[in-house]
Amino acid sequence: MAELEEVLDPVPYATAGWDPTSNEEWLARLGFCGAVRDEAVARLHSLMVRAARHQVHRMNDAIGLGAARREEIVLSAADEATVSVLARLHTFEGRSRFTTWAFKFGILHAGVEVRRAAWSGREIELHTIEETRASGQSPEGYAETRDLADAVTRAIAEILTPHQRRVAVALLVEEVPIDVLADRLATTRNALYKTLHDARKRLREHLRAAGYLATPEEATR
């Protein structure tokens, strides 16, 4: 990291109103101590509030939460994101602007909190799945789609493990957000996505062998 004096603006750095434009300046100020660091952390926190608010306002799940709860989530997510950024400063490699890198933490924490709040108190059960939904297809097309759907349904029951079945149905059929399911199953987004990856692979292999899906070679012909 460059020496602080090399990257700071020529204006006295303890004064308010600095406007860091370079990654080096951000890192130098956040790595310093005292008033310089405090001011940089406050700046960082205001960026995290901006990112969290942006994400909360984009999410349909947030609409039903009410304005007060949404603002609570914005501030709480900004706090958590600020801590995350400071804890991972050493991993910043300068592949993007520092602000872009930091924004993703604000967006992540806000998204997770909104999904948790929206699903708070809601049961996740398999027996809420509805009957077949109409798709506006021709009778022939409908029959083919129905055949495939029935084959997928059988494959889910026969070739997936109970854990794979639970995860795949919850995430892909019931559309439970992945963070919410991760909370309920005491695991992580990453682990659930891997389970899903393996389950999809098994399903495709089975359906291909049974003639319901084209092989990669057939698909490229």
> Between 152 and 181, how does the x/- string for binding to other proteins read (CB under 8 A)?
xx--xx----------xx--xx---xxx--
Asked if 98 and 28 touch (Cβ cutoff 8 Å), the reply is no
C-alpha to C-alpha distance for 51 and 45, rounded to whole angstroms: 10
Examine residue 68 and tell whether it contacts other proteins (CB under 8 A): no
Rounded to a whole number of angstroms, the CA Rg of the chain reads 24
Residue 173 is given by DSSP the state: I
Pick the closer one to other proteins by CB: 5 or 140: 140
Pick the closer one to other proteins by CB: 61 or 72: 61
C-alpha to C-alpha distance for 91 and 42, rounded to whole angstroms: 21
CB of 209 to other proteins, least distance (A): 13
Examine residue 30 and tell whether it contacts other proteins (CB under 8 A): no
Examine residue 215 and tell whether it contacts other proteins (CB under 8 A): no
Asked if 169 and 179 touch (Cβ cutoff 8 Å), the reply is no
The dihedral region occupied by 170, where left means phi > 0, alpha psi between -120 and 50, and beta the remainder, is alpha
Residue recorded with tokens 């501030």 = 75
Examine residue 116 and tell whether it contacts other proteins (CB under 8 A): no
The contact set with other proteins (CB under 8 A) reads 50-51, 54-55, 58-59, 95-97, 99-101, 103-104, 107-108, 111, 115, 125-133, 135, 137, 145, 148-149, 152-153, 156-157, 168-169, 172-173, 177-179, 189-190, 193-194, 196-197, 199-201, 203-204, 207, 213
